[in-house]
Amino acid sequence: MMASPSGGEDGVPRALLEHAVAWSATNGLGMVVNDDKGLFTSTHLPFSLLPYALPADSYEQTKVLAPLFNTLVDRISRDGPWLKEVLKDVLAGDDFTSELVRIHETIEAEGGPRQPVCLAINRSDYMLHVPEDGVTAPHLLQVELNTIASSFGCMSALTARLHRHLLSRFGDEPSSAGKAIRDHAASVGIDTTTTTAAGDGGLGELIPQNPTLTALPKALAEAHKCYGKPDAVVLFVVQPGETNAVDQRLLEMNLWDHHGVRVVRMSLAEIEASGVLGEDGTLTVDGGAVEIAVVYFRAGYAPNDYFGRAEWDARLKLERSTAIKSPSIGYHLAGTKKVQQVLAQEGQVERFLGASESAAVRRCFAGLYSVGPDGDAAATADAVAHPDRYVLKPQREGGGNNLYGPELKSKLDAGGATDDELRSFVLMQRIFPKTQPAVMVNRGKCVSGDSISELGVYGTYLGGGEGKELLNEYAGYLVRTKMEGTDEGGVATGYAVLSSPIVGGRGKAS
Amino acid sequence: MMASPSGGEDGVPRALLEHAVAWSATNGLGMVVNDDKGLFTSTHLPFSLLPYALPADSYEQTKVLAPLFNTLVDRISRDGPWLKEVLKDVLAGDDFTSELVRIHETIEAEGGPRQPVCLAINRSDYMLHVPEDGVTAPHLLQVELNTIASSFGCMSALTARLHRHLLSRFGDEPSSAGKAIRDHAASVGIDTTTTTAAGDGGLGELIPQNPTLTALPKALAEAHKCYGKPDAVVLFVVQPGETNAVDQRLLEMNLWDHHGVRVVRMSLAEIEASGVLGEDGTLTVDGGAVEIAVVYFRAGYAPNDYFGRAEWDARLKLERSTAIKSPSIGYHLAGTKKVQQVLAQEGQVERFLGASESAAVRRCFAGLYSVGPDGDAAATADAVAHPDRYVLKPQREGGGNNLYGPELKSKLDAGGATDDELRSFVLMQRIFPKTQPAVMVNRGKCVSGDSISELGVYGTYLGGGEGKELLNEYAGYLVRTKMEGTDEGGVATGYAVLSSPIVGGRGKAS
CA distance A220 to chain B (A): 17
**Is the model's pLDDT at A38 over the cut of 90?**
no
| CA A507 – CA A495 distance, rounded (Å) | 30
| Tens digits of residue pLDDT in B196-221 | 444 567 889 999 999 999 999 999 99
Cis peptide preceding B46, ω within 30 of 0: no
Q: B397: pLDDT confidence band, cut at 50, 70 and 90?
A: low
Interchain pair A37, B32: CB under 8 A: no
Q: Please name the member of B15, B37, B165 whose beta carbon is closest to the beta carbon of A37.
A: B37
Three-state DSSP class for residue B43: strand
Q: Which residues of A touch B (CB under 8 A)?
A: 15, 21-23, 25-28, 30, 32-33, 35, 37-44, 165, 169, 173-175, 200, 245-246, 249-250, 252-253, 256-257, 260, 262, 264, 286, 289-290, 443-444
Q: Residue A400: which region, alpha, beta or left (left: phi > 0; alpha: psi -120 to 50)?
A: left
Question: Is B337 among the residues known to form the active site?
Answer: yes
Write out chain B residues lying below 8 Å of A205, CB-based: none
Q: A33: pLDDT confidence band, cut at 50, 70 and 90?
A: confident
**Cβ neighbours of B397 (radius 10 Å):** 20
Interchain pair A40, B43: CB under 8 A: yes
Interchain pair A40, B39: CB under 8 A: no
Per-residue pLDDT, averaged over B445-449, amounts to 92
More reliable by pLDDT, A380 or B8: A380
3-state per-residue secondary structure call for B61-76: HHHHHHHHHHHHHHHH
Question: Is B151 among the residues known to form the active site?
Answer: yes
B350-363 CB burial, b ≥16 within 10 A, e <16: eebbeeebbebbee
Q: B416: pLDDT confidence band, cut at 50, 70 and 90?
A: low
Looking only at the bridges linking them, the beta strands covering B290-297 and B233-237 are parallel
Interchain pair B286, A175: CB under 8 A: yes
Question: Is B146 among the residues known to form the active site?
Answer: yes
Three-state DSSP class for residue A122: strand
**Is the model's pLDDT at B1 over the cut of 50?**
no
Question: Is A398 among the residues known to form the active site?
Answer: yes
More reliable by pLDDT, A135 or B347: B347
Quote the pLDDT of residue A37: 57
A/B interface, count of CB pairs below 8 Å: 108
| Tens digits of residue pLDDT in A442-492 | 988 999 999 999 999 999 999 998 889 999 999 999 999 999 987 666 787
Q: Please name the member of A37, A253, A444 whose beta carbon is closest to the beta carbon of B40.
A: A444
CA distance B25 to chain A (A): 6
Question: Is B397 among the residues known to form the active site?
Answer: yes
Quote the pLDDT of residue A488: 66
Of the options 3.50.50.60, 2.60.40.1180, 3.50.50.100, 3.30.1490.50, the CATH number for the domain spanning B367-430: 3.30.1490.50
Which of the residues B24, B26, B259 would you substitute to probe the A interface, choosing the one with the greatest number of A C-beta atoms within 10 Å?
B26
Per-residue pLDDT, averaged over B18-39, amounts to 85
Question: Is A350 among the residues known to form the active site?
Answer: no
| One-letter identity of residue A296 | Y
**Is the model's pLDDT at B36 over the cut of 70?**
no
Name the binding residues of B for ATP: 337, 393-402, 404, 428-431, 454, 482, 488
Q: B273: part of which helix (H) or strand (E)? A: helix B268-274
Q: Say what angle helices A56-77 and A80-87 make with each other, to 10 degrees.
A: 100
**Is the model's pLDDT at B185 over the cut of 50?**
yes
**Is the model's pLDDT at B35 over the cut of 70?**
no
Q: A1: pLDDT confidence band, cut at 50, 70 and 90?
A: very low
| CA B390 – CA B379 distance, rounded (Å) | 10
Three-state DSSP class for residue B174: coil
| Tens digits of residue pLDDT in B66-102 | 999 999 999 999 999 999 999 998 898 889 999 999 9
**Is the model's pLDDT at B285 over the cut of 60?**
yes
Q: Please name the member of B22, B40, B41 whose beta carbon is closest to the beta carbon of A249.
A: B22
Q: Which of B283, B301, B300 minimizes the C-alpha distance to B292?
A: B283
Give chain A's mean pLDDT. Answer: 91
Phi, psi of B65 (to 5 degrees): -70, -35
**Is the model's pLDDT at B172 over the cut of 70?**
yes
Phi, psi of B446 (to 5 degrees): -100, 140
Question: Is B338 among the residues known to form the active site?
Answer: no
Q: B399: pLDDT confidence band, cut at 50, 70 and 90?
A: low
Counting residues of chain A whose pLDDT is more than 90, the rounded percentage is: 76
**Is the model's pLDDT at A218 over the cut of 70?**
yes
CA distance B26 to chain A (A): 4
Indicate the domain borders of chain A: 14-366+431-502, 367-430
| Tens digits of residue pLDDT in A98-141 | 999 999 999 999 999 999 999 999 999 999 999 888 888 899 99
More reliable by pLDDT, A216 or B398: A216
Give chain B's mean pLDDT. Answer: 91
